[in-house]
Amino acid sequence: MARDDLISGNVWEQYSQKVQDRMNNPKAMGELNQADADAKGARLIVADFGAESCGDAVRLFWLVDEATDAIIDSKFKSFGCGTAIASSDAMAELCIGKTVDEAIKITNKEVEAFLRDDDGTPAVPPQKMHCSVMAYDVILEAAAQYKGVERSILENQDIVCECARVTKQEVVDAIRNNNLTTVEQIGEITKAGTFCKSCIRPGGHEEKDIYLVDILEDTRAQIDKEKLEVAANTTQSGEMSFGKMTIVQKIKAIDVVIDEYIRPMLVMDGGDMEIIDIKENLPYFDIYIRYLGACGSCPSGATSTLYAIETTLKQKVNENIRVLPI
């Protein structure tokens, strides 16, 4: 049965013409062997990767010039659906001419974009986007084999969206930097969750360890916590709150208010004052003062003058200040 008969109507129209062409006539399908490598003085790399979720598998062949690390030829064999064939074909073609390190940076987003007929229309329906993830995975396998290292050394273990190859940190950064509040906004900025949608919340095509809704909730909660902490540690003018100041900072803050609002009043009557100590008796801050000059023997030092000093400091510094003359 022809492939056109298997996929019909609107479903078929969800695949770009480039995808359809590569499904039927892949350009890079085939094998490379040691004789091919010897003929070009290159190293042969053969890497396999299989997707447990759908049973698709791909084998990637590279001929690599070890002097430059450049991939001089690339072919593939794919065991799976038409989308897997088309994406693997595009992936193999994109590898040619790149160094191994450059090939590692080829993501399935790049493969999907390469297969689009126009920039604004996805090449495949969202539920099939996961098929192109194998392109990235098999490249990692090939690169790890070429470099003689474990694949885990090359891959980012914190991938949240396999389709768009978006990491958790990229999502967190997007939320913070753009003040995002919905998963739709996350998708607009990072493309995460815009293809197969499995990474948005539980119940999708593939089970995930963490979902976009979880990251959004956790990050927004952390942002709110930080805002509360900032608010608690700053005054309305944006300065550090009195309670978070060191003892030296507290004395300086009180001295500024005394010099501007209180001392001129006392000096006019031949008196003055000085701060002796500040003690925390939460929720209160007890300010111990000593009157100087005429204030030392003035009866109002324990009544109206004391009330005026304390009221001013409450208004200008902190409402929990108590002034105690000694």
Residue 95 bears catalytic tag: no
In whole angstroms, give the CA distance from residue 269 to residue 97.
Answer: 89
In whole angstroms, give the CA distance from residue 108 to residue 115.
Answer: 11
In whole angstroms, give the CA distance from residue 64 to residue 199.
Answer: 35
In whole angstroms, give the CA distance from residue 127 to residue 235.
Answer: 52
Contact 136, 109 (CB under 8 A): no
Which residues lie closer than 8 Å to 116 by C-beta, 6 or more apart? 16, 18, 122, 123
Q: How far is CA 240 from CA 232, 234, 259, 319, in A?
A: 9, 4, 20, 15
Query: Active-site residue among 131, 161, 196, 295?
Result: 131
Residue type, 88: S
| Continuous segment of H or E residues that includes residue 70 | strand 70-79
| Continuous segment of H or E residues that includes residue 273 | strand 271-281
Cα dihedral value 109, 112, 118, 122, nearest 10: -90
Residue 131 bears catalytic tag: yes
Contact 250, 279 (CB under 8 A): no
Contact 86, 78 (CB under 8 A): no
**The tokens of 162 are what?**
């396999």
Buried-exposed string 3-25: b where 16+ CB fall within 10 A, e elsewhere? eeeeeeeeeeebbbebbbebbee
- The catalytic residues are 54, 131
